[in-house]
Structure 1
Amino acid sequence: MKLKRVEYDQENLYVTNFIQTIKIPFAQVKQFSSRPIGKYRMVKIELLHSGYFGRVIRVFSDVDKLQLFKQITTQY
């Protein structure tokens, strides 16, 4: 798995591989799912269309950040 970092605001995801950063509007997120791995969660973000990092982006998240992300994305 290639290492990526995801941040977000009220309207967009910002995905970086630490060289390139892209902005993805939440409207382009088809679905996301997560599964536990120790005290963290493996989050799978599936996009409507393939982008710079592909159609599926996987990242690790702690539970608190995942809950905030779920609250924001349920609006879209």
Structure 2
Amino acid sequence: MYKKQLSSNLTFIAKVILPGLFVTGITGAIIGLTSSGQYDGVLGAFLALLVFSPLIYMGLVRLKRVSIDNQYIYISNYIKTIQVPITDLQEVDDTWLLNYHPIWITFRTETPFGKVVMFMPSTDPTSIFSTHPITRELRELIKNTCLNAKKIPHTQR
């Protein structure tokens, strides 16, 4: 069965490498400033770490790798991969306000990664100030899945 990747190939860099570089860089600056006796910059570096770490977690570390086939959505955090039936899709949202155009998938039931999963789609220049094509595709899939479920008599479900 063919799996179509929905998330960008840059997800690993955004999820792991960039946050790692940020934390390593700021922590290294704090250690370097402290060990050289330059305490003036330590407070600023520590505040940057406190302020930006939650933002980086919310915007980057939570990203998942997402792919789809005819029956399931596959979600990975690069350590564990789960599959969720397409029929469990409830809602799909995105925002064009952020550069990487994150997409949020909401499921009807809780998954091991939570009820809402965020991923970074491949770049699409046509969706700079509008809904990403993958968001539209997933919304159409939800709509078709709901329509098909209504056509099946309750005795056959």
**Shorter-normalised TM range:** 0.7 to 0.9
- Runs of 4+ in structure 1 off by over 4 angstroms are none
Q: What is the aligned counterpart of 1:8 among 42, 46, 68?
A: 68
Equivalenced residue count is 75
Change (3 A) 1:71 1:56: closer
- Aligned residue for 1:10, secondary structure, equals coil
Answer with 1 or 2: which has the greater Rg.
2
Q: How does 1:61-72 map to 2 (within 5 A)?
A: 61-62=121-122, 63=124, 66=134, 69-70=137-138
Flag structure 1 segments of 5+ consecutive residues without an equivalent: none
Distance of aligned partners of 1:52 and 1:25 in 2 relative to their CA distance in 1, 3 Å threshold: same
List per-residue Cα deviations over 1:15-42 (Å, max 9, x = no partner). 000011000111001111111123x421
Gaps of 5+ in 2: 1-57, 125-131, 146-157
- AA matched with 2:85: P
- Alpha-carbon separation, structure 2, partners of 1:49 and 1:59: 18
Q: d(CA) in 1 for partners of 2:111 and 2:139?
A: 24
| Matches of 2:140 and 2:69, distance apart in 1 | 8
Q: CA deviation at 1:65?
A: 6.3
Question: Does the 8 A contact of 1:34 with 1:43 survive in 2?
Answer: yes
Identity %: 23
Cα distance in 2 between the residues matched to 1:51 and 1:44: 14
Residue 46 of structure 1: which of 82, 106, 122 is its match?
106
Letter in 1 for 2:71: E
Flag the structure with higher helix content. Answer: 2
TM-score norm. by structure 2 comes to 0.42
